[in-house]
Structure 1
Amino acid sequence: MILTFIVFSSVCIIINTSAQQCSPALPTVLLGNGGDSPQQADGVWYVYRKMGGSYPSAAQIQITSVAPYPDPVTSEPAYLQWWQIFSDTATTSCPHQFWTGTYAGKGQQIGDLGGSDDNYIRRPTDFVVLYHDYQNLLVTYGCSKSQTDGVHCATPTIIAQTRKRPDQLSAADMDSFDNIINSAFSKYCVSVQNIPKETYGAKGTCAAIDPPNCVALDIQGMKNTLVNPTGSAASTSPSSYGSNTGTTLSGCKWPNTIPSQGQIDLKQIDGTFFVYRRIFPPEASPVNQQGAWHDVGLSASPLINASAHTYWAEYVNYANATSSQCVTGFFVGEIQTTGLITGLILPYTTAGAIQPYSSTFLLVDSTQLFFYGCGAQNLQTGICDAPVVVHFIRTNPLQLSQTEKDALDAVEDRYLNKYGCSAAKDVPLILHTADKPLCPMVAPTDCMQNHITGYQQVLAAMKTDSSY
């Protein structure tokens, strides 16, 4: 990959009719071309031209949209998708890759790339769609490592895909596609001369295969969002993801979104906390609930946010006051210094399947964390049908005085009063009891560990070289 980029960066190009020469300088971040339904990308694609990246040679890509998914923070339309990527040439082996994630209306493709066996290592990927007509051509761009200036990309990936096998394209088709690609990248001094054309021979023997276990769980988790949605474009009824009791009991109007309250210190999120008050799925009446946050390191993707860190978290508790069995759940994702949390949650009730999750930290200090999210936006009323509110504290609530509890409630009210909400009326206390020992933190599931290991490997690779 390093050698490839050195050759690439040494080329000079004449852009259009201008006599000015320049060197390729792709930026770390580009805006995507959105506006249409990402579901139109479903079906088979073939890689026509490719620069960088870890796609197999002469790749065939099968895209399947699983469910519509309006983002709970931005309300932007998106589709949950999974892809199968495999070589379309006759070889002794047929490597497969799998991608699961979200393709948003703004042209962003955000997800995870995995291999073809159950022990595959996952890694985050972020692409933007720079051109699409969905019937003929799809052009995407990603940057997995920025240069030291933080502005330009050190390891760019460009993928141009066509609906028709490239070896079956006419000369007129290729000229038309190349003109579109040149137009998308000319301002960065890049042309099709820098993006090699894939060579397809006789169709090989590779064929689609069933996804490995962890990918299958991902897909099932995305399908579960149809039943237990984490986002709903125009929901008019409560979601099992959270609770809308505040809208019916006290006049509280939980908003679809709450803006970030400013910069936060990510170092203060590490470690173990007790849950003091919360509205959060999926357990109905948890007892002795704790959470532990683990900082993996700086964000693995410059497209997410250079000032973000990757975190994985676990929470443990008893299901209810009469239960003697400890239950657990996991989360892996990014937390930005602006307070935005984005990632994937693995609730125990879905057998490890993945659901996307977004929220916003409103307060972070050395003693507490307080965040809000909306699990089911109602775009008709502007009032959230499934708010998610969690107040973490360092001290076991059993050891708090009433004065200390009042002070914590005052912190919540500072953020909630503007919406007609209050801690005492609208955010239930978590039961903490001395007659049950604290549940132990457990090791991540195998699939969860794949997520964590994948992030760790990408972070390590970013110190030298990294590619999608």
Structure 2
Amino acid sequence: MILTFLFYFAALGIVANSAQQCSPSLPTTLQGVGGDTPKQADGVWYVYRKMGGNYSTAAQIQITSVAPYPDPVTSQPGYLQWWQIVSDTAGAPCQHQFWTGSYTNGGMQIGDLGGSDDNYIMRPTDFVVLYHDYQNLMVTYGCSKSQADNVHCATATIIAQTRKRPDQLSASEMDNFDSIINSVFSKYCVTVQTIPKDVYGPKGTCTAIDPPFCVAQDIQGMKNTIINATSPPATTSSPNYGSNTPTTTGCKWPNAFPSQGVVNNKLMDGRFYIWRRMFAPEASPVNQQVDFHDVGASASPLINATARTIWAEYANYASANSSQCVNGLFVGQIQDTGLLTGLVIPYTADGAPQPLTAMFLYADTTQLLFYGCGAQNLQTGICDAPVVAHCTKANPLQMTQTEKDALDALEDRFLSQYGCSAAKDVPLIFHTSDKPLCPMTPPTDCMQNHITGYQQVLASMNAGSGYSY
């Protein structure tokens, strides 16, 4: 009996010590659950439990896929998610938040969030799906600020969503969901006791509203990209653009380039001139240049704690015989692995942001080279819409032939493995002193909306306050 008591108290001591040693510590990054998430996650979800974020009342979430859009680099199908949030206080107005973005094949949700409480300024908001069965429960995790070690999260958000309204769940259903949530986070010493339930009262849920103009533009741009990715691309100055068969030179543009290893992502600042380029929509651009603006360190620690946020202006003449300047703008992030993700906004009356994903093949203080595929062909293995851009800080009009040859030699180093050649397969951009450089046009209101959102997030992170979803 005495031995039994000693063993019992010893066991309690072990448990107590284990509990004392285990303290909540969520990591900056987590591995997500892949799968056909956008298609199967469509429909209404309700927030069951939520930790972090900028609201504390019941929420209904509607997820609507735009369409499966397999991006060649990240396999990101585009989709739209909007949040309808209702306060439980009598007479309080509904708050609406809209999120546009995409799922990766690794379970990441990458996109921008804007809401009625901040004039729909679209700021980066990324999550990773840690659990889903599509029919009952989905658990997502976000980190909006990492600790100084870039390993542990300082400002975390956890959202557990159910198909059934939480105030209508049975005790056994809640016990089952809580058990799953605990298992997802048990290794981080986080349990449902630290993830509060959302409270649903008699007001029910808010009525859906149409997205505001800039959000609607994002959606339209995503749809345009999907259409372009599944239809023949527009004709450009390159006879090989859009070809799904090998070129006469034997060039076979790949559906995707692998990561070339760590690149210095702090180099994206200043003016570059386009040396060679295969890109839509301009047919034969003249004097094309681009100004990169390095906004600062990562606005998305969940994606990559060392990523850089950038925005870029580009301008050129439509052709050698045109006096029309063509302008555009890009905002997004570049990771140290070379992955570039963001939105391209053409300057047209109905210009809508279009997703762009590419891989940097090379970047230093004098030049950069990236490749993307606008429409991969899984049958032939050859990209239907290759995108190549080789930029240099040196003005091509002032370069020697030796310097030009060195640019092509570097490009050939990466393209030759696919039977491609810079001189034969990537059009040379025409630069002439007969035309002045086109002026850079200020961002459109909607594009400035995105830039402002990124800047606000980075400012709050630098101030140490973090930001909430």
TM-score by length of 2: 0.89
> Contact 2:38 / 2:79 at 8 angstroms: preserved in 1?
no
Aligned residue type for 2:113: L
Aligned residue type for 2:102: T
Distance 1:373 1:174, change over 3 A: same
- CA displacement 1:252-310 (0-9 Å, x = unmatched): 01112223333333343311111111001111111111111000000111112122110
- Partners of 1:188 and 1:205 lie apart in 2 by 33
Measured after TM superposition, the shift of residue 55 of structure 1 is 4.5
Measured after TM superposition, the shift of residue 118 of structure 1 is 9.4
Query: Which residue of structure 2 aligns with residue 389 of structure 1?
Result: 388
Q: Out of 233, 236, 239, which is 2:233 matched to?
A: 239
> Contact 1:116 / 1:211 at 8 angstroms: preserved in 2?
no
Query: Which residue of structure 1 aligns with residue 262 of structure 2?
Result: 263
- CA displacement 1:149-183 (0-9 Å, x = unmatched): 32221111111111121111111221111111111
Distance 1:322 1:40, change over 3 A: same
Query: Which residue of structure 2 aligns with residue 422 of structure 1?
Result: 421
Query: Which residue of structure 2 aligns with residue 129 of structure 1?
Result: 129
> Contact 2:45 / 2:163 at 8 angstroms: preserved in 1?
yes
Aligned residue type for 2:163: R
- CA displacement 1:6-27 (0-9 Å, x = unmatched): xxxxxxxx9xx99831211111
Measured after TM superposition, the shift of residue 347 of structure 1 is 2.5
Moved more, 356-365 or 345-354: 345-354
Measured after TM superposition, the shift of residue 399 of structure 1 is 2.6
Query: Which residue of structure 2 aligns with residue 68 of structure 1?
Result: 68
- CA displacement 1:349-376 (0-9 Å, x = unmatched): 5833122211122222222211111111
Alignment of 1:124-273 (within 5 A): 124-204=124-204, 206-229=206-229, 238-240=232-234, 243-244=241-242, 247-273=246-272
Query: Which residue of structure 2 aligns with residue 360 of structure 1?
Result: 359
> Contact 1:118 / 1:214 at 8 angstroms: preserved in 2?
no
Query: Which residue of structure 1 aligns with residue 47 of structure 2?
Result: 47
Measured after TM superposition, the shift of residue 105 of structure 1 is 3.4
Measured after TM superposition, the shift of residue 387 of structure 1 is 1.1
SS where residue 174 of structure 2 aligns? helix
Query: Which residue of structure 2 aligns with residue 9 of structure 1?
Result: none
- Partners of 1:241 and 1:18 lie apart in 2 by 70
Measured after TM superposition, the shift of residue 95 of structure 1 is 1.2
> Contact 2:285 / 2:429 at 8 angstroms: preserved in 1?
yes
Aligned residue type for 1:20: S
- Partners of 1:141 and 1:183 lie apart in 2 by 14
> Contact 1:374 / 1:386 at 8 angstroms: preserved in 2?
yes
- Partners of 2:368 and 2:290 lie apart in 1 by 11
> Contact 1:56 / 1:95 at 8 angstroms: preserved in 2?
no
> Contact 1:241 / 1:386 at 8 angstroms: preserved in 2?
no
Query: Which residue of structure 1 aligns with residue 18 of structure 2?
Result: 20
Measured after TM superposition, the shift of residue 241 of structure 1 is 9.3
- Partners of 1:267 and 1:339 lie apart in 2 by 11
Moved more, 35-44 or 24-33: 35-44
Aligned residue type for 2:444: T
- CA displacement 1:369-403 (0-9 Å, x = unmatched): 11111111122222212111111112222233333
Query: Which residue of structure 2 aligns with residue 408 of structure 1?
Result: 407
SS where residue 371 of structure 1 aligns? strand
SS where residue 138 of structure 1 aligns? strand
Query: Which residue of structure 2 aligns with residue 441 of structure 1?
Result: 440
Measured after TM superposition, the shift of residue 425 of structure 1 is 0.8
- Partners of 2:318 and 2:367 lie apart in 1 by 23
Distance 1:65 1:327, change over 3 A: same
The alignment covers a number of residue pairs equal to: 446
Distance 1:223 1:117, change over 3 A: farther
- Partners of 2:235 and 2:68 lie apart in 1 by 16
Distance 1:151 1:280, change over 3 A: same
- CA displacement 1:28-55 (0-9 Å, x = unmatched): 1111122344211111111111100124
- Find the structure with the greater CA-based Rg: 2
Distance 1:210 1:414, change over 3 A: same
- CA displacement 1:181-201 (0-9 Å, x = unmatched): 111111211111111111111
Moved more, 368-377 or 110-119: 110-119
Poorly superposed stretches of 4+, deviation over 4 Å: none
Measured after TM superposition, the shift of residue 117 of structure 1 is 8.0
- Partners of 1:104 and 1:204 lie apart in 2 by 33
- Partners of 2:354 and 2:191 lie apart in 1 by 39
Distance 1:445 1:388, change over 3 A: same
Measured after TM superposition, the shift of residue 143 of structure 1 is 1.0
> Contact 2:56 / 2:198 at 8 angstroms: preserved in 1?
no
- Partners of 1:151 and 1:273 lie apart in 2 by 34
> Contact 1:116 / 1:212 at 8 angstroms: preserved in 2?
no
Aligned residue type for 1:447: C
> Contact 1:88 / 1:206 at 8 angstroms: preserved in 2?
no
Aligned residue type for 2:233: S
Root-mean-square deviation over aligned CA pairs: 2.3
Query: Which residue of structure 1 aligns with residue 368 of structure 2?
Result: 369
Aligned residue type for 2:143: C
Structure 1: where are the runs of 5+ without partners? Answer: 1-13
Aligned residue type for 1:226: I
Aligned residue type for 1:351: D
> Contact 2:38 / 2:68 at 8 angstroms: preserved in 1?
no
Distance 1:351 1:249, change over 3 A: farther
- Partners of 2:369 and 2:36 lie apart in 1 by 36
